[in-house]
Chain A
Amino acid sequence: MAVLSTPKSAVQLASKGRPLKEHLFRIALLSSLAIALIFLGMLLIYTLEEGWGRLNPMLWENMPSIRRPETAGIQSGIFGTLWIISLTALMALPTGILAAIYLEEYADRGRWYNKIIELNISNLAAVPSIVYGILGLGIIARWLQFGFTVMTGAITISLLVLPIVIISAREAIRAVPPSIREGSLALGATQWQTIWRQVLPASIPGIATGSILALSRAIGEAAPFLMLGAATLVRFNPEGVWSSFTVLPLQIYNFISQSREEFHVLAAAAIVVLLAILLVMNSVAIWLRNRYQKRW
């Protein structure tokens, strides 16, 4: 039998045209992404444009002033922020990582107290930062009489980032396959040896990434410091942990509260500096993740 026309295939592979729904869904996804990016771009352009005139070395060479906006800088804010973040890292990271190791490797999840701990760490991560400010003021500054010092600020911020550090460290530790732990234990390694020599090295990139992101969140905090009754105008750099200080967000807040227009320009320039510090930290986090990412 001669087949003259194109035979009709049993399987229908011809395109029927993508359904409208599929297109609409793609558009919805792309526009959500676009909204986020457009706002970020606008923020950056606006701040850069506003602060451009004051993005000169005077900004980080000079101390703040409320009388001479044309020469005022933010050096004490930059140093204050660096002090706070370093001290916070020293306190919050070891504590957070050890807590995460306990919860992931030692805690029996069936026990009621471990369940309560887990639940409350998630709750703590959601507590507004100003509440930590009240805690710092009431307990650390007043009751422990640490006053408004770098130490008080750092302890408060440590408490603020601790739940985030714990949660991200737990995720990183959980991502290490159980077969690695079994392999190590089956060779006669103790649990501590297994954690110290296998689990931690394998999860360090994830822990580092999470920690940096947690710290960069802390850098932008102003609320807890306001609550602590911080001085917004500090004309010297911190000399130690018992020194008083200011941080960049507070400095920015102070400049914006001034009525003269030059201070608003100064504030915008300070925001650019703050954003630059944040970007550097986040880039380090991404670099770490890509550099040391493990593939199993």
Chain B
Amino acid sequence: MSQPNVTIRGPEVPNTPGSLDPVFTVEDLSVFYGDYEAVRNVDMMIGRREITAMIGPSGCGKSTVLRCFNRMNDLIPGAHIKGKILYHDENLYGDHVDPIEVRRRIGMVFQKPNPFPKSIYENVAYGPKVNGIKRNMDTVVEEALTKAALWDEVKDKLKQNALSLSGGQQQRLCIARAIAVKPEVILMDEPCSALDPIATTKIEDLMQELRQEYTILIVTHNMQQAARVSDRTAFFTAEVDDAGVRHGRLVEFDQTTRIFTKPSDKRTEDYITGRFG
């Protein structure tokens, strides 16, 4: 096959499938909006302190799947799932599970930076505050901003409105805001699609730093980005069933190196070589 002209992360994760230390185990997950089955039968595992990228053409359900991991889909009337997502050993959709508790452990960064119309400080302090943390707020804020590689740029203007920051800074502020709650996992829904290339590079570098401490799932439209930053890649596509209804399907899930060099599925190969999508 023709090689896509992209940089691919080295094989930093072990090759043997058994060596994946799962934070999430997705078992036969289907997502519905009312009667419509948006995504069908997904099985995958998310490894601890790895970056897992979810790629695929528009409408393939990758964002839908991402939003299942912190139960953000619960907010859409009529949305429900079949199958299981195990977070460690616990089913995220179990009867006694509180979605609020889920979101405290599994943070999220959105496509468009969405800082609150408050000061930079207040943005970062908000998560800890609603989670009942009151003491040492200055330290919490500084730590989160430092980890998000934003501290040096904003330390002298913490009282300024967050909306006065540039788009890239706003997105790093949103990452800091998520980190401040001390989550285990950070979900990123196309975090760079609204940013320029320089801001994008900064976020990608930041992801590599965060990977030391957090498990990251990223949905991206940008294949090069998936190749550059991720350890494993899940390729989704949309398929039309016999009744003419479109469903999102997981085609292939493997180490990023393999997905981009020797994918086992023809559809993956077509997509990454640019013949489709």
1/0 contact trace for B93-122 toward A, CB 8 Å? 000000011011001101010111100000
Interface residue B163 (Cβ < 8 Å from any Cβ of A): yes
1/0 contact trace for A189-227 toward B, CB 8 Å? 110010001100010000000000000000000000000
Contact B72 A185 (CB under 8 A): yes
Contact A186 B108 (CB under 8 A): yes
Q: Evaluate whether A188 and B178 lie within 8 angstroms (CB atoms) in the complex, with A179-B110, A198-B116 already known.
A: no
Q: How close is A7's CB to chain B, nearest CB, in angstroms?
A: 41
Interface residue B177 (Cβ < 8 Å from any Cβ of A): yes
1/0 contact trace for A176-187 toward B, CB 8 Å? 010110111111
Interface residue A17 (Cβ < 8 Å from any Cβ of B): no
* Beta-carbon nearest neighbor of A181 in chain B: B75
Interface residue B57 (Cβ < 8 Å from any Cβ of A): no
Stretch from B3-11, B125-133, B227-235 contacting the other chain: B125-133
Q: How close is B33's CB to chain A, nearest CB, in angstroms?
A: 13
Q: Please give, as numbers and ranges, the residues of chain B lying within 8 Å of A193 by CB-CB distance.
A: 130
* Beta-carbon nearest neighbor of B115 in chain A: A183
Interface residue B174 (Cβ < 8 Å from any Cβ of A): yes
Interface residue A61 (Cβ < 8 Å from any Cβ of B): no
A135 to B181, CA, bound (A): 53
A190 to B126, CA, bound (A): 12
Q: Evaluate whether A295 and B72 lie within 8 angstroms (CB atoms) in the complex, with A110-B77, A183-B114, A185-B103 already known.
A: no
* Beta-carbon nearest neighbor of A179 in chain B: B114
A contact residues, range: 20 to 34
* Beta-carbon nearest neighbor of B114 in chain A: A179
Interface residue A239 (Cβ < 8 Å from any Cβ of B): no
Contact A189 B130 (CB under 8 A): yes
Q: Please give, as numbers and ranges, the residues of chain A lying within 8 Å of B72 by CB-CB distance.
A: 182, 185-186
Q: How many residues of B contact A (CB 8 A)?
A: 25
Q: Evaluate whether A294 and B130 lie within 8 angstroms (CB atoms) in the complex, with A186-B108, A186-B178 already known.
A: no
Contact B181 A187 (CB under 8 A): yes
Interface residue B169 (Cβ < 8 Å from any Cβ of A): no
Q: Please give, as numbers and ranges, the residues of chain B lying within 8 Å of A185 by CB-CB distance.
A: 72, 75, 103
* Beta-carbon nearest neighbor of B102 in chain A: A188
Q: Evaluate whether A190 and B114 lie within 8 angstroms (CB atoms) in the complex, with A110-B77, A183-B174, A295-B163 already known.
A: no
Interface residue B70 (Cβ < 8 Å from any Cβ of A): yes
* Beta-carbon nearest neighbor of A177 in chain B: B114
Q: How close is B164's CB to chain A, nearest CB, in angstroms?
A: 11
Contact B112 A179 (CB under 8 A): yes
Q: Please give, as numbers and ranges, the residues of chain A lying within 8 Å of B107 by CB-CB distance.
A: 186-187
Q: Evaluate whether A182 and B130 lie within 8 angstroms (CB atoms) in the complex, with A110-B77, A187-B181 already known.
A: no
1/0 contact trace for B43-82 toward A, CB 8 Å? 0000000000000000000000000001010010100000
Contact B117 A294 (CB under 8 A): yes
Q: Please give, as numbers and ranges, the residues of chain B lying within 8 Å of A25 by CB-CB distance.
A: none
Interface residue A118 (Cβ < 8 Å from any Cβ of B): no
Contact B103 A187 (CB under 8 A): yes
A155 to B110, CA, bound (A): 46
Q: Please give, as numbers and ranges, the residues of chain B lying within 8 Å of A112 by CB-CB distance.
A: none
Chain A contact residues, CB within 8 Å of chain B: 108, 110, 177, 179-180, 182-190, 193, 197-198, 202, 294-296
Chain B contact residues, CB within 8 Å of chain A: 70, 72, 75, 77, 100-101, 103-104, 107-108, 110, 112, 114-117, 126-127, 130-131, 163, 174, 177-178, 181
7 contacts between A and B (CB under 8 A): A180-B114, A183-B110, A184-B130, A187-B107, A187-B127, A188-B127, A190-B130
